[in-house]
Structure 1
């Protein structure tokens, strides 16, 4: 009986708090940024103006997710422009009935298509639609430019608070990201030959992605020639050979000497503190490298290729991290020079307009917003904007499963309404709103780090408190907001989920098949005579990044109810198998680089052929079928571990649906 009453596994996974640390600086900024405008508005006798500025600050708080200061400018300032544009368009159509329905439907289409471009564009599209809905559903102070200006001031106030320490911590976030990447690699090398290796590799992939995103974003504006920037990029680039050597050390099956990860952690400390450029520090760092993997017990003993690879990579990293003057014209990155802004905008626009996925999501969001607005136009729903707001939050494609988000939105709103009911019924409006807002706003970044349901529970009382400052409805706001949220969740589930087959059928097999195809190409280029090391490195980094995206998609699918969640769980072993194939390919290439004989071209072609055959099988069915792979080759050659991984991947079988 107890097992029958237990919640389903997908709901437990969805409600489990994430282990991400609480961003305490963002917590402090949120409390100040949202409470200060209320205090100023009350002091000036215009509490409604203060509430609008706080609403704009709420948008900035939600977008305040970056560590690097240059990224904060884009993450907060750019979405604020679209948010101001949205509230202006909503204000124009306020009270115009079906014209407002049509306008919001078109805005939803544009917003949905924008959301498929990237992270900043996603938040921009979200604020464009959200503020359009607010402007079309709430009577805001006139003239038409006043509400957009007040909302923008709130977002810019958050940006101002976020940039206060920039003159004193100009490069600290980037240094911290690169240092974290070094520490992640140290943990990976420490896990070589152990069961925890695969989990540590995922951490390394994420750390490298974060570091390169920050460094490349900075490079697009610094032109790659400033001394501190060149040093950081050089330190990040020389970490790649260590990452490449790790799979070879892991496949060897024996743990590395403890001095290896310790030396890498010393380099991490040097990068983070800026303690570089000193010859004595370089000698201290090269000491562990000199005595660990390259240590020879006798004159006749020689290190294995994997040991030699780690030794060479660590020595090179120590040399570059502690060099006194890096050459600014000899710095390259592993993902390519960022294109000019106009080129990226043109490319993104073309991709959005020609992408089937972009149009599909835009039309799905437009349909749901159109239904929500038409419903509240035909049926008298007090403060009906909340229905469309709920639809917008639930249907964010890059935030996770639509189904689970609808469930979490309903649960989070219910919990948030309990808090709101206590505040609206017990706290008198006026100056008491300021300390209450400090506490409630500070909870938003803290709760957002734990998951969507927790974020919703934190945002709900804040929005209701600000709405009450504007409309003075008090406790009467609580029950209608719950009803509106349930209506919005219902529209999103029916019109945005059940009516679209790709929402509940597992379509992530296409992305996985593409990753398998790319892996086959990587196997060919890894041992091709015409491919240089830099090209192989860039291809491997892109492949790992794609696999990280595939892994994220599968993790989202696991939160879906059956059959989607069940199918995703059955396919999960293949995701891990493909990652291991990439590792085995990199390890084989490293062994060849350090003295092992080259594999025969026929062996390479056979492995690539079997991988492409596997990709065809994945793409042509919605479940895996058993395929016995007969991969012959030199059992003592460098490709023997790779053939074993490919055979294991092709032997994976999913249960019958």
Structure 2
């Protein structure tokens, strides 16, 4: 097979590739019930066409089951139920003339496009409302027969309420389940994160590919941690007191945050130690402990979901014992060569000791978390683990009117998107009406579903929708030709919908491919269309895809190149504030700002995720509007590296007494802060950054001091190798600090160079 054919086939398979995760079979089963009951009622009563309205309403409301806390689910599903019914009614009222329908369509779709201003839940609800409006306008308009209109609206309302009952039926019975599931998901993504971190030990060949996967896993676990905090807050911040289970779950959430920080610091230390000849002496043991940590986290995740009363971590304990034993052997071998011991070699030994100690602390933390998980269902109290933790603060309220008013201008990306969406949808409806396309509303639906605020997202969704519709259309045509029995058709509809909903979160292409034959079969139940409906579905979707791509490219584009500097400025600013807080603790070790550091670390991590998403959108845009992307890639890599270095320093604060201080630490810190402030300013003003100050001179002075400490310590080892002296304490504290400061200076220099190239 020619290489071009192989490449095309590989690209096609990639469009149907599943994202990491498990199919949502429970969601699929609930979908079968949500659709199956209205279908069965329609078959039994002989009103199959009428029951299709309830089926569609149930399907749409079921699609906005956003998960999370029950209050959030109930609000979203109730809004969707009312929304799709009102949309159905409105479509009937304006269906009498195209000149009334068109401006109404523009207004409805425009405000639906603005819903993203109020979060992903509002956007999801507005999407299903838009779809119901378009479908009702084309297929179910019965005005001026008022009784028929009211009957159809009642069917829509009944379908939505039925979907709500199925989803929210366990509300009062299991109120904490969503929070527990989100915490379990957080520990599962932590497991995958640690598993990737363990590969850093052995995988030294393809470091670029590993680094990309590791950062993606870090972003995933950061997002899962944010979701877990939000779910916890939605349940308990409305209550006056937090019960024991709520406190236990909050401890698990905050411990997950601590594990993230520890793993980031561990990988940073591994990057430093891996170039040392001594590293091979502990490499295998370190890898085994980290791999076992990943398994232990996975075990904790499963125990949270299944309510196990015990969590066994014996294998992890044995791996830690082996690591500590091997560390003592390695230390003994190095110390026995006191006369030949070099300063660099001793520094490597200190770093390896730091790695082993950190892994031991992680193991101890998992044991504590294991006890909490074991008592999560029973509510049993242990005083040494039920410590007080400051709960996450509820998000401040906002005025939706002010938010809407502030975004009604062309500077708003979502305003441009809403206007573009409304124009394309209205144009599609007008063209379909004038040319009298029998199923022209599918062109309109493609625009509603596929058009995104950015060109890259629009392209990806459009390609996946067209491919999924093409294959699904062929499946639907085959089923229409071969199956005539109403019961068999109903069974196929349920099976296909079960599969579609189960894989919806994993692959939009597969979801579309499974959903398309459902729509074709439903329409054949409502009216006689035959297999031709499948052909028209494919043609209309392709036409809609072309219209969407043209509209996204030509109508009010806001290319990511224009927005990226603002996001990068925010990202550098968040990392700068994080660095300032951490370094302030080194300069004044007596202050306790742990909570402040954790908050700033999380904010910097979120901004790193946002910057990565912005860069990915840039890379998906047309090549001629991207500009020079290499400086952007370099900047992204070293912002993340800077964050890791600062996180390592933040973790090292636990061992820092402050009894010994580098004389040039404050000057170096001030110089780094000055550079980062200037880099953020350069991005804001779109100008070249100022020349770098003399960072190397401050760094050289710190290197000289740490070498002196190592020299003194080597002399102490010769006389009394096991004595704990002030020099030993200073070496343990200052070696990591010195190493990370050197890495930070290098990262800041490269960030400066990247921004200078970006502004040319």
TM beyond 0.5: yes
For residues 2-41 of structure 1, the aligned pairs below 5 Å read 15=15, 17-20=17-20, 21-41=22-42
- Distance in 2 (CA, whole Å) between partners of 1:656 and 1:398 is 23
User: Alpha-carbon deviation of 1:435?
Assistant: 1.4
User: Alpha-carbon deviation of 1:114?
Assistant: 0.4
1:177-210 deviation line (CA, Å, top 9, x unaligned): 2431442454255345564466335324423422
**Residue in structure 1 matched with residue 550 of structure 2 by the alignment:** 494
- The correspondence for 2:390, drawn from 321, 327, 332, is 332
- Distance in 2 (CA, whole Å) between partners of 1:409 and 1:188 is 32
- The correspondence for 1:319, drawn from 363, 368, 385, is 368
Change (3 A) 1:576 1:441: same
SS of the residue aligned with 2:531? helix
**Residue in structure 2 matched with residue 179 of structure 1 by the alignment:** 187
- Once structures 1 and 2 are overlaid, which stretch shifts more, 537-546 or 507-516? 507-516
- Distance in 2 (CA, whole Å) between partners of 1:504 and 1:5 is 32
Structure with greater helix percent: 2
- The correspondence for 2:402, drawn from 327, 346, 350, is 350
**Residue in structure 1 matched with residue 223 of structure 2 by the alignment:** 209
Matched pairs, number: 649
**Residue in structure 1 matched with residue 515 of structure 2 by the alignment:** 459
Contact 1:526 1:536 in 2 (8 A): yes
User: Alpha-carbon deviation of 1:131?
Assistant: 1.4
Change (3 A) 1:598 1:310: farther
SS of the residue aligned with 2:90? helix
- Distance in 1 (CA, whole Å) between partners of 2:36 and 2:455 is 28
- Distance in 1 (CA, whole Å) between partners of 2:229 and 2:618 is 31
SS of the residue aligned with 2:81? helix
Q: Which has the higher contact order (CA 8 A, sep 6+)?
A: 1
- The correspondence for 2:674, drawn from 609, 627, 638, is 609
- In structure 1, runs of 5+ residues without a counterpart are none
User: Alpha-carbon deviation of 1:603?
Assistant: 1.6
For residues 440-459 of structure 1, the aligned pairs below 5 Å read 440-459=496-515
1:204-263 deviation line (CA, Å, top 9, x unaligned): 442342244134224323336122222111012123333223333223234536346535
1:397-452 deviation line (CA, Å, top 9, x unaligned): 38962233333333332222212222223322622221111222123134534533
**Residue in structure 2 matched with residue 118 of structure 1 by the alignment:** 119
- The correspondence for 1:232, drawn from 249, 257, 261, is 249
**Residue in structure 1 matched with residue 571 of structure 2 by the alignment:** 515
- Distance in 1 (CA, whole Å) between partners of 2:544 and 2:293 is 55
- Distance in 2 (CA, whole Å) between partners of 1:321 and 1:441 is 39
Change (3 A) 1:235 1:264: farther
**Residue in structure 2 matched with residue 151 of structure 1 by the alignment:** 156
**Residue in structure 2 matched with residue 425 of structure 1 by the alignment:** 481
**Residue in structure 1 matched with residue 345 of structure 2 by the alignment:** none
SS of the residue aligned with 1:501? coil
Contact 2:106 2:426 in 1 (8 A): yes
Contact 1:516 1:615 in 2 (8 A): yes
1:254-299 deviation line (CA, Å, top 9, x unaligned): 4536346535744653464259999x97997995698478777389
For residues 350-369 of structure 1, the aligned pairs below 5 Å read 350-355=402-407, 356-369=412-425
- The correspondence for 1:575, drawn from 630, 633, 636, is 636
Change (3 A) 1:656 1:357: closer
1:360-413 deviation line (CA, Å, top 9, x unaligned): 222121222222233334332224322221110111338962233333333332
- Distance in 2 (CA, whole Å) between partners of 1:2 and 1:263 is 45
User: Alpha-carbon deviation of 1:534?
Assistant: 0.9
- Distance in 2 (CA, whole Å) between partners of 1:260 and 1:4 is 41
Change (3 A) 1:174 1:2: closer
Change (3 A) 1:476 1:577: same
Change (3 A) 1:435 1:169: farther
**Residue in structure 2 matched with residue 648 of structure 1 by the alignment:** 750
- Distance in 1 (CA, whole Å) between partners of 2:303 and 2:519 is 41
- Distance in 2 (CA, whole Å) between partners of 1:257 and 1:500 is 52
Change (3 A) 1:281 1:503: closer
| TM-score, normalised with respect to structure 1 | 0.85
Contact 1:55 1:466 in 2 (8 A): no
User: Alpha-carbon deviation of 1:359?
Assistant: 1.8
**Residue in structure 1 matched with residue 265 of structure 2 by the alignment:** 248
1:292-341 deviation line (CA, Å, top 9, x unaligned): 787773899988555545544553553355263468782324xx3223xx
- Distance in 2 (CA, whole Å) between partners of 1:157 and 1:361 is 33
- Distance in 1 (CA, whole Å) between partners of 2:563 and 2:491 is 48
User: Alpha-carbon deviation of 1:107?
Assistant: 1.0
SS of the residue aligned with 2:67? coil
- In structure 2, runs of 5+ residues without a counterpart are 274-282, 336-348, 373-380, 586-590, 707-737
User: Alpha-carbon deviation of 1:120?
Assistant: 0.8
For residues 605-644 of structure 1, the aligned pairs below 5 Å read 605-618=670-683, 631-632=695-696, 633=699, 634-635=702-703, 637=738, 638-644=740-746
Contact 1:409 1:453 in 2 (8 A): yes
Contact 2:188 2:301 in 1 (8 A): no
- Distance in 1 (CA, whole Å) between partners of 2:243 and 2:190 is 22
**Residue in structure 2 matched with residue 53 of structure 1 by the alignment:** 54
Change (3 A) 1:604 1:228: same
User: Alpha-carbon deviation of 1:519?
Assistant: 1.5
- Distance in 1 (CA, whole Å) between partners of 2:629 and 2:7 is 19
**Residue in structure 2 matched with residue 553 of structure 1 by the alignment:** 614
SS of the residue aligned with 1:330? coil
CA RMSD of aligned residues (A): 4.1
